Chain A
């Protein structure tokens, strides 16, 4: 009897897990092709820049890490805790400042996005596995509070669109579940690659709330929560989004 209950529970959990759908699965077929076909992918130029940047300079990324392919799986483990919460672009910035002794790039600088995309690309097909830990748990809890708190002049929380109304339409476009498995993404609206922080800041300004600063505690907490919310989903970065 007990094992039957456990089985039922397992099936229920599995069914629950199946409800989560990556944004790339709910895009139009044309966009899905654009992301799946490397020959058409609009981030190819950025990836080429990433490879160039990877090998550039005397203390290049390659001089420590070898080929980018050796970082397979690295992007699945962010945001991480290392004397503060750090996301993947943040880790690249730290490497640049600390080990390459170069000035940090501006947020969303082209080479930074290109390197993030190159590193993230190596984790294609792997499930998202954000790390655990007391500080990260705390941040995730804070992120969840932000996610469910109404903000801005429109008085909307993230959850009201991306949990309660996912799959419905907002002004003709499908509301996705808001998973973070494909970042950085090439957004057609932006005509460029963009990080998750850019996406979140865009959402905040969309509901006319005060936009969080780059790498602020709020954004990093939200990112930590979102990574856990999408944990286990297969990554296919860099993504393409409308």
Chain B
């Protein structure tokens, strides 16, 4: 199953005005502390880092840890003066990597 991510941007963004970005990625965020129904320890499997870049420049990043829920949901505010491209990347254990890009249109 392909990795899924949902990213929500406001429909209209004004130059120089802060706007909210919401991003979720489908991921189990297995802590490594839990056991399965059969009593077998479930290996740790986490998203470790989230980065958001605007035209290659890092504008938001987060380090994620075991206490963060499955399907981690991050909401943050950005401000842009000109249109560009927002790129999102999630990296984690077992080589997990998911990228998304969204065009940013600024009025």
A residues sitting closer than 8 Å to B (CB atoms) are 38-40, 42, 44-45, 48-49, 52, 191
Contact = CB atoms under 8 A, between A and B. Distances in A.
Contacts of B5: 48
Judged by DSSP, the binding face of B is: loop
Contacts of B69: 191
Contact of A39 (B1, B2, B4, B22): B22
A44 B1 CA distance: 16
Contact of B4 (A42, A52, A191): A52
A45 B24 CA distance: 8
Contacts of B6: 44-45, 48
A96 B59 CA distance: 45
A28 to B, nearest CB: 19
A67 B71 CA distance: 27
Nearest to B25: A45
A25 B44 CA distance: 40
Contacts of A45: 4, 6, 24, 26, 71
A49 B6 CA distance: 10
Closest 6 CB pairs of A and B: A39-B8, A44-B6, A48-B4, A45-B26, A45-B4, A39-B22
A198 B50 CA distance: 34
Given A39-B8, A45-B6, A191-B70, 8 more contacts: A40-B22, A44-B6, A45-B4, A45-B26, A45-B71, A49-B1, A49-B4, A49-B26
Nearest to B22: A39
Contacts of B1: 49
B24 A44 contact: yes
Contacts of B2: 52
Nearest to B6: A44
A44 B71 CA distance: 11
Contacts of B22: 39-40
A20 B26 CA distance: 36
5 contacts: A39-B22, A49-B4, A52-B4, A191-B69, A191-B70
Interface string B1-41: 11011101000000000000010101000000000000000
A38 B8 CA distance: 9
B65 to A, nearest CB: 18
A94 B71 CA distance: 30
A42 B69 CA distance: 12
Nearest to B69: A191
Interface string B68-89: 0111000000000000000000
Contacts of A52: 2, 4
A191 B29 CA distance: 13
A40 B26 CA distance: 14
Contacts of A40: 22
